[in-house]
Amino acid sequence: MECSDRRFEILVRPLKSDAEQIVRPERRGRVSQLTWSGGGCCDSRRPVNSIVGCPRFGEKMSLTNAPQTVFLILLLLPVFLPGFNATYAMGKASARLVQNSPLTQTQSPTNSWSGLVPLRSTREEVEKLLGKSKMSHGFTYIYENQNERVDVLYSAGPCEPSGVERWNVPQDVVISMEVIPRKTILIKDLHLDPKKYVRFQWSHPDNWVDYWNREEGVIVHSIIWDKAEELRFLEYRPTVKDGTLRCE
């Protein structure tokens, strides 16, 4: 690489490094030490403040080059911006699901999701939030958007069988919800309280795990892949206190 090219590499490296971390974090481990620390095409004997020379790595650029620096950043910005926007949008989707999970909820009750609560919310409220259902089986209606799929079981009427559920609530009241994320979320990132969420591992399939919070009506379903435990879906159900509404 010629020194003129070397100057371009040094000017661009900070921007390229940031974009590399955002767009392809998994590649960071594959990049050689030489690429990140910089190989020496520059003559170390050249004066530090020389405008025509190639500056040493880590030293400040001369203010004389400020216009070129700004020009290069503006020139390359459209190249990295689309990838950044896509990553940012995916990050927001993931953050939104985690915010609605039992981990970070500050609203009461815990078994609410996006303001919807089993045995309280109605079909009208669900469809105001998620739109009309495009699919159903029995009394379960399926809603989908770009972030998640939500399966909602509705009441068939007071003490009427709704699948295997019977609750003394009006027709079209939500009985339970299953929220299935489209993006991978690790269980460790949910920071579930082990005092509230009791862990059960299935015998078959043996890589399925459930975390039950019966008191507050939340079940976290996960799966183990390559030693990493990932969220399958969140299930929101009636709480123990809601038991008085259950039909015998």
Q: Is the dihedral of CA 91, 96, 102, 106 positive or negative?
A: positive
Residue 103 lies in a domain: no
* H or E element, residue 95: helix 66-99
Residues 76 and 50 in one domain: yes
Q: pTM above the 0.75 mark? A: no
Residues 199, 221: one domain? yes
Boundary-marking domain end, from 98, 120, 138: 98
Same domain, 114 and 77: no
- How many alpha carbons lie under 13 Å from residue 82 in its C-beta half-sphere? 2
Residues 136 and 64 in one domain: no
Q: Is residue 67 part of a domain?
A: yes
Considering the domain architecture, whether residues 116 and 185 belong to the same structural domain is answered as: yes
**221 and 185 co-located in one domain:** yes
In-domain check, residue 15? yes
Q: Residues 114, 93: one domain?
A: no
Query: What is the residue type of 92?
Result: K
Give a yes or no: residue 21 inside a domain: yes
How high is the pLDDT of residue 176?
97
Q: pLDDT value at position 24?
A: 37
DSSP code of 14?
Answer: H
Residue 104 lies in a domain: no
Task: Please tell me whether residue 235 adopts helix, strand or coil conformation.
Answer: strand
Among candidate residues 98, 121, 156, the one where a domain is terminated? 98
Instruction: Assign 111 to helix, strand or coil.
Output: coil
- The domain tally of the chain equals 2
Considering Cα of 90, then 118, then 104, then 194, what sign does the dihedral take?
negative
- Tell me, yes or no, whether 161 lies in a domain: yes
Model pLDDT, residue 78: 57
Residues 47 and 26 in one domain: yes
Position 52 scores a pLDDT of 42
Do 134 and 222 have their domain in common?
Answer: yes
Q: Where are the beta strands (DSSP E) in 95-197?
A: 135-137, 140-144, 148-154, 174-181
Q: Which parts of the chain are beta strand (E)? A: 135-137, 140-144, 148-154, 174-181, 198-201, 208-213, 218-225, 228-236
The per-residue pLDDT for 23 is 39
State which residues of the chain have pLDDT below 50.
1-63, 83-97, 103-104
Single residue among 98, 125, 151 that ends a domain in this structure: 98
Q: Report if residue 155 sits inside a domain.
A: yes
Does 224 share its domain with 143?
yes
Q: Assess whether 125 and 85 both reside in one domain.
A: no
User: Structural domain of residue 67, as residue ranges?
Assistant: 3-98
86/114 same-domain check:
no
